[in-house]
Structure 1
Amino acid sequence: MWNPDVYLAFADHRGRPFFDLLARVGARSPRRVADLGCGPGNLTQTLSSRWPDAVVEAWDSSAEMVEAARARGVRAQVGDVRDWTPAPDTDVVVSNATLQWVPEHPQLVVRWADRLAAGSWIAFQVPGNFDAPSHQAVRDLGRQPQWSEALRDFPFREREVVLPAAGYAALMTDAGCSVDAWETTYVHELSGEKPVLEWITGTALRPVRAALSDPEWEQFRAELAPMLDAAYPRRADGRTFFPFRRIFVVARVR
């Protein structure tokens, strides 16, 4: 389950890559815009503001996220992005921090390019931080004897589950697109007692939470917290700097 409130705790930081991605989409008057992995809908709303004449459709696999999006007036539906098929009038497809959860997403975006009309846009961004200290700390703790049995099915992602920017550029060029691909490392300035723990609680730790009972979950967080504190020390002024690499792709179907 996704928790919209936890996810939105860092809404400003999480939203910045979305706007950096959309800034490179040159569509002027799209008929239909699809937001795949819309989350709680706070960013989807901005698509309607930018393109007021477009039909904006939104998908997310989480019923909780879809409920939150609908509460904002977004026309969202529950669905797996792997099952989505573009309607004939789809001119823009956006997927923000979603495709990293889909192992076969390189084949998926190629399929979208094949089914979209010439001139359509595909824009997506994915995290590129799977080797970051935050993820390594989760892996290291999860392999400790006290957790190895409970987390035996946890997807310990040892390597990048996404391509580098150059890999996506080659992939989408071969699919018949003109491509703009790049990478950015944001250094997020966070505040609070355990900000990195709270950040990954809303995203990377979801599978851990699903595998543990309530008491186990609290114990896991308690053991993880000092590991994250060591990796991302809190400054004397209360700030914690959290580097986060992301990969961006904007492709236009030729």
Structure 2
Amino acid sequence: MWNPQTYLAFADQRGRPFFDLLARVGAQSPRRVTDLGCGPGNLTEQLAQRWPDAVLQAVDSSPEMVAAARDRGIHAELGDIAAWTPPPGTDVVFSNAALQWIPGQAELMVRWAGLLDPGAWIAVQVPGNFDAPSHAAIRWMAEQEPWSQTLGDFRFRNANIVETPMRYAELLTGAGCAVDAWETTYLHELNGPDPVLNWITGTALTPVRDQLSDEQWQQFRADLIPLLDEAYPMRADGRTYFPFRRIFVVAQVRG
């Protein structure tokens, strides 16, 4: 279960990759724009501002996120991104920090490229930090007693869940697209107690939370804090720096 308010706690910093991705999309007057994994809709609003004359479709697999987006006036719908097919007239497929939840997302993008009209754009950003200390700590915790029994066969995602920029470029170029792919590591400056824990609570820890009772959840978070404090020490001025690698792909279907 996704919590829109928890996710929005770092809205400014989470939003920066969205704008970096959007800046590289050259669509002028798209007929239809789809935001896949729209979340609470705060960034979908930016797509509506960029292309006010386009039909805007917003899709998310979380009922809580869809409800939050609708509260903002976004025409959001509940749906499975892996099963989504571009409706006729789709000129921009945009997905910010969502496809990492879908195994085989590169092949999914290739499928979209084969269905879109010439000139259409695919723009995707996915986290590339699954081998970061924060995620390594979650994996290690899940394998220790008593959590290994509580979480059963749960296995946290590893670094191979997403491809390299080169691999995305190779696949989409082979699918007939002009491709711009790159990666960026953002150095987020966080403040307050347990900032990295609070950050990952809204994203990476969501599948862990779903499998724990309220009491177990609070204990898991407490057990995780020392590992995160060691990996991301707070400076004397109260700041904590959190490096976050992200992968970007912008592809235009050739005519």
What is the TM-score normalised by the length of structure 2? 0.98
Counterpart in the other structure of 1:239: 239
1:225 aligns with 2:225: yes
Per-residue deviation at 1:155?
2.5
In structure 2, give the amino acid aligned to 1:83. A
- Could you tell me how far apart the structure 2 residues matched to 1:142 and 1:50 are? 43
Moved segments of 4+, more than 4 Å:
none
Determine if contact 2:179/2:251 at 8 Å carries over to the other structure. Answer: yes
Q: What residue ranges of structure 1 are gaps of 5+ in the alignment?
A: none
Aligned to 1:153: 153
The one-letter amino acid paired with 1:242 is F
State the Cα distance separating 1:226 from its structure 2 match: 1.1
Structure 2 contact 127–245 (Cα < 8 Å) conserved: yes
Give the counterpart letter for 1:70 in structure 2: R
In the alignment, structure 1 residue 98 sits paired with structure 2 residue 79: no
Alpha-carbon distance between aligned partners in 2 of 1:149 and 1:85, rounded to the nearest angstrom: 39
More off after superposition, 162-171 vs 144-153: 144-153
Post-superposition shift, 1:216? 0.5
Give 2:195's aligned residue. 195
Give matches, 1:174-213, under 5 Å. 174-213=174-213
1:128–1:160 CA contact under 8 A, matched in 2: no
Give, in whole Å, the separation in 1 of the partners of 2:28 and 2:35.
Answer: 17
TM superposition shift of 1:106: 1.4
CA distance in 2, matches of 1:181, 1:158: 21
Residue 157 of structure 1 deviates from its aligned partner by 2.4
Distance 1:55 1:154 in 2: 40
Letter of the 2:185 counterpart:
T
Question: Which segments of 5 or more consecutive residues in structure 2 lack a partner in the other structure?
Answer: none
Identity of aligned residues (%): 68
Distance in 2, matches of 1:59 and 1:223, equals 35
Q: For 1:102-121, what aligned pairs fall within 5 Å after superposition?
A: 102-121=102-121
What CA distance in whole angstroms lies between the structure 2 residues aligned with 1:203 and 1:181? 24
SS of 1:9's equivalent? helix
Tell me the SS of whatever aligns to 2:107: helix
Mapped to 2, the partners of 1:122 and 1:158 lie a distance apart of 25
- 1:44 aligns to what? 44
Map of 1:21 onto structure 2? 21
Report the equivalent of 1:167. Answer: 167
- 3-state SS of paired residue (2:138): helix
The equivalences for 1:47-58 within 5 A come to 47-58=47-58
**Separation of aligned partners in 2, 1:153 and 1:49:** 44
Q: Distance in 2 between matches of 1:191 and 1:199?
A: 11
1:53-68 alignment, distance < 5 Å:
53-68=53-68
- How far apart, in 2, do the equivalents of 1:146 and 1:156 lie? 16
Q: Give 2:170's aligned amino acid.
A: A
Aligned to 1:216: 216
Task: Name the amino acid aligned to 1:196.
Answer: V
Give the letter for the 1:92 counterpart: V
Which amino acid letter does the alignment assign opposite residue 27 of structure 2? A
Paired residues in the alignment total 254
Moved more, 146-155 or 17-26: 146-155
Deviations 1:176-232 (A, max 9, x none): 100000000000001110100000000110111011111110000000011101100
Q: Please, what is the CA RMSD of the aligned residues?
A: 0.7
